[in-house]
Every structure is written in C-alpha cells, then in structure tokens.
Structure 1
C-alpha cells in the first residue's frame, strides 16, 4: 500500500535511509584449502546479514525469465512501495490541536483523562477537543482540577460537526473501541493516533499510562514508528425504480461527491449475516467483476489485516500482520466442510449481493455500527481505502504486534514440556514400575 503526503495534513511518513545491500560476485573462483575458511566466514556474514534485515517487504522479483521472456515495462503502472519498517512520523509543523477520546461509562478512565487534558492545556499549551457528551459526566464535573480547565476545552458532537482538517493529533484512552471510534470520526485523512491501554482487551492500544508525559513529549517531537492500518471503503448500491418503472443501481464509479457521501470506511471488518431469519444466508461473492462463489451459511466477514484478529479470528481465520496489504474473506459457519477463509490482494474490488435464489435478505454492519438491511438486487462493494489509520507504535511494528498477540489473545500459551533426563535415567535402570509411577505423577501435575 503506497502512501502519499496528501493523506495527512501536518505530518508525513519519513523513510529511514536504505540499508546497504551486499554485493554478490557471481564470477567463477578457484577454491582451495587456504581460502576455505574465508568462504565459511563469508557465508556466516551473509547469513547473519539476512537475519538482521529490517525490511518487511517481499524482495523485488527478477523480471527476466530465461533467455527470452520478461515483464513488459509499463510506465503508467510503476509505483514505489515503502518498507513498512522504515515508516516513521514527522511533523510539517508543531501540532497545536489534539483530540482526546475516552472510553464511555468507565469511571476508571476519569482520573487519567483529567490528568492528560490538564497536562496538555497547561504544560503544552495545546487546544484540546473532546466530545460534548464528555462534559455532561456528573462525576467528572465534581473534579476540582477538571473544573479549572473545563472552559478551555473545545467540544464537538458526533454526526453534526466535521473534524476534517481541524485535528493534528489524536489520543485515545480506553480499549480498542476508542480507536475504532476515531476511525469512524475521520472518513478521509486520519491524524496520527496514540492509544493508551485503559480498557479490557487492548490489542490496538500499545501504550501504558504510567509515564504518559515522557511518551507524549517524545511523540510530539516526532520520535515514533508508525503502523499504517489499512481501511476498507464500503459502498452500498441500492436497486431502485425510476419514474419510468425501470430498475437501476447507484453508479459505483461516481466520484467523489455522490459516492463518497454513501461510503463508509471501516478499520476492522464489514459483516454480512442472515439477521433474524431462520434460513441460511445465500450470498454471491464477486471479485473484480468475476463471480467467485456463493456463501451458504450464517454470513460472511470481509476484514482488514487489523480486523483479522477480531471477529475473523473467532470464525477460524488466520491472523495477518497489519502491514500486509491484503483483504481477508471469512465465512461464518458455512454449510460446507471445504469452505476455508481466503486472503486476496488489497487492490481488488469485492462485490457482495444477495443471491436471487436466497430465501431471505441479509444484514450488513460496519465495524459493529450502522447496521442495515441488504435486499435482493442491492449490492455492497468493498475496496481498500487510500486513507489508512496511522497508529503510533510503542516500540515498533513487529514488537507491538507480537506483544498484543501474547498479552491480548494469549497466543501459543501452554505449559513447557519437561526434559527427558529423568526419564532416561529410569529407562536405563530398567525400573518399569518407578517409570510408570513418575509418568502418572507428571500427568497429575499437568
């Protein structure tokens, strides 16, 4: 996924200098006993270099195939893909406005929220935006520190106020839902998001609040790695009737005034299910205009790599790193033993519609919101959006992801298998009774 500077207003991605590549000499060389050690040393150096590389991109393929074959050069299709490991935040100018999103209906977040907004207003002289509903919290208004800065906060109302080009920086206090809400608020370019883990799961919130002053100061100075979390652009096309009685669908290629208003960007997934109907869903799936298959089951999940660890993984999908450009398609309880989740390239367009033979309609939800019915003749088109969510890393893209797998999902957690030293001694002594007794004891210990 390529990212252009237009994706952000006051920030862009700074690419680290490329690592020097080793020069391989493929000319013939004579090998004797004297230079055998040097060759072994070279092999060790080359192997260690490959393990030390920080590139997360696949190697660029060699474009000549045999003596005569090759890839036709097409200047119109040339693009440069930046190594995700080198994506770092930089500011065009110092950020002045910050949006603070906190978890609702959670008293444990109130104290960190007051500490954060007070520090941002008094120490950093920043303009702090909060949702208008936050100021209606009775417990929060009883706090003396909060009352002293309450009038300095700028409020907005979801669904009424447009935050586009008004916010330089976003801070989330809570769980993964706060990051999903930030994605919903910004349906085009998203400011950099720093998420503190103050919720339940915290898979997308890598920062701890203990030393928030030092961490925020470092971020505001531009010292941060970024994970560009791709989003899906979902457009509903309704089958309607014109005055002459002919049915037509909304133009899928309308740009951007009409189509953009009907599109929704999702960070996790779009879910198509059978709703309250007792019948199986019968959903037709198209990829770039070609019919692929029909889904007969409870429904279908179309998710981003970020969403692969959410609903999709509960439905049996694999977990994909957030930097992988892909779209995951996962059936929900399919009535087929051979229907496995699939991963398709990020550049394709998926079209999902209710099959003409379906006994019922389907229902669609976008990141768990905006649930609406999908009727016969309607279709949902899903593509990868050009506007990702720039999520700030606590360490780096790899460390944060595996830490989330371990802490949030307890990935590959089990008791360690014991060594065979004790068993080997017992086997050598021929004491089968003692051997069986030890085995039974170990079974009870586990």
Structure 2
C-alpha cells in the first residue's frame, strides 16, 4: 500500500508543476473556443502583418503609376534674376549718321533684371511613358506575389502545427487509456500480494510504469503549449490548450491545378517585366516631341538693344533624339533576353517539383486510406489478446512484463489508427494548401 501512496504523491507534484507552467490538466479539460483549420487559416490571412503589406504595396503601386502620369501634364516653372555689372556694351554712332538713317540707340543699363515663366508640354514620346506605367504595375504585381508566397508559407506552417496538436492530443488519450488499465491491473496485483501469490515488486513495477506514463503525458502537454504559442503567433488569436480544434473537412480536390499559386504566377509577371524592359529600351531611341513657351519681363528682353522694362516671349517645338541609345542598349537587350530564358528555366524546375509533390501527396493519401481500413481489425485483435493476458496476469500464469507487451501492442495499434486518420485528413488539407485552394475560397 505504501507504493500506491508514493505514486499518488508524485502525481500531485506533477499536477502542481503543470499548474505553475500554465498548462495544467484541469485547464486542458475545460471546454474552450472551437476552431477549424479553415477558420485559423482565414484568421492568419486577415490578422498577420502580411495582410497590411499587401494593402501598402497596392497603394504604392497606384501612386507610382500616378506619378508617371504627371509627365503628360504641362510643366510650368518660374524664375527670376537680377544683376549689376561694372560695364556694358556700347556703340558710338555720330549724330548726323543716326539722324540720316533714323537710328535710335539708347545707352544700356548696368542694373539688369528679368522674370521668366516657362511652360512645356510633351506631345509625343513614342509610347515610353505608357510602357513605364506598365512596368510600374508589373513590378507591383511581383511584390504582391512575393508577399502572398510568404503568406502561403505561413499557411503551410499552420497545417503542420495543427497536425502536431491533433497527434499529441490523441497520444495523450492513449496514455490515459494505459494509465487506467494499469490502475486496474495494480488492484489485481495488490490482491495477489495480500494472498501471497505475487511479489510486492510487481506492484512497484506498475508504479514505475505509471510514473513513466505521467512523464510522457507531461512532455506531450508541454509540447501542446508550444504548439499553441506558434498557432497564436500565426493567427494572432488568443489560443491555448483549452481551444477545441475540429478535424479538417474531408473535401477532395478534383483539379490538380497549381497555377493559382503566387510563387508560380510570379514567373509570368517576371517574364512580362523583362519584355516591357526591352520594349522600353527600344522606345528610348524614338525622338520625343514637345511644345514650349517662355514669357519674360525685365530689361533687357529678347531685344538686347532695348533696355526699357517690357514684356517679351517666344513659343516653339523642340525635338529630342537620343541617338546614342541605338548602340548603348544593344547589350542591355541581350541581357533581358537571357534573363527571360533564366526565368523560364526556373519555372520548369518549379513545375517539376510541384508535380512531384502532388504525386507524393496523392500516394500518401492512398496509403493512409488503405491502412485506416484495416486499423479497426488490428485494434480489435490486440484488445482481445490483451484481455486474455489480463486474466492470465490475475491468475499468476504470466509475468507483468508479458502483460505490458500486450498492453503496449494495443496502445500502438490505437496510436497507429489515430495517426492514419489524422494524416489522411491532413493530407487533404495539405493538398488544398499546395494548390492554393484555401485562398481561393476566401
């Protein structure tokens, strides 16, 4: 009986330890908030900082396009200057000559000033500005796909943590089953010890096994706490070990199409970005036509011989032709073509890897489905063998170690059944993540 009391004391200490760490058995058994895998993934897409990054990236893209559009608005500038010079140009003409020819040349002014209003309007750029806008939009798409790819990795992490929690909880249930069974066997052993047909050490062996099971349970519960910390960080929800997680829906994915993945769509945007960059290089050689108008007030004006304060102005058409781009951009174009070939090569590697993952996951589903079909028979047989061994142990015809082998066989069969059931369900969930179907449903 002392050994029974000793085990209870150890069990109390274990419970106190769990309470201190915030993951006590009592709190674990309480009814908590219900969440499905789909709800957790949706919460991550709404609450994780990547969501705000997408909004900020979209705002940046719009502003970049608007900024490029300003080039087609009239460009107006105002300048002013004043100066004083020590000497000025002069032309001395005899009075008789000036009078005979009707010349009226006044003396210059050493203090000069001028205000200028300049206006220019782009008339034709060969489509360069339109291409720059398309580049800005495409670059914004690439950033958006990069953010979504990072979010898809978070979704994959949630799948793994979710599966870990389900497996740990199932293992805790099996440990509880083993503890309950050993408690019943201990009562039989205690009666056998009192009747002198069993040794006291048999009861102590059961105590040691119970302590080991308690240690395993403690380890699993601590792992659960860590898993829920991770899950909370991904979803930004207040989750703990009291949270109830439902099994993923058993919805089969019909179309094995992964083209909706952001890390696949980014290849198309990168190729388009390279094509637009090459198009821009070609358009840089096209002459640009602009209208300009300048207005002046001051002295002297456009007529440098008139030093009175007056208005003047000019209008015209300007032509800008960057001839050097004809040979400067030759190598840049070749680089863009090589870059496109590299992107297409990376896309091919991605497709090979995705096809392999989809096939392997489909094989895993088939494997777990077939194993699950036979798990119930294995558990039933193991239970029957264990029940017979329990009677033999009670009668003293077998040793405790023999019985423990049968009990562990039953436990392993139950664990295998739970693992196959959880893995089959999570295989379907992982297939949805792999094909980015969760994001499409939101």
TM-score range with shorter-chain normalisation? under 0.3
Larger Rg: 2
More helix by share: 2
Q: Which has the higher contact order (CA 8 A, sep 6+)?
A: 2
Question: Could you tell me the TM-score, scaled by structure 2's length?
Answer: 0.18
Question: Could you tell me the TM-score, scaled by structure 1's length?
Answer: 0.18
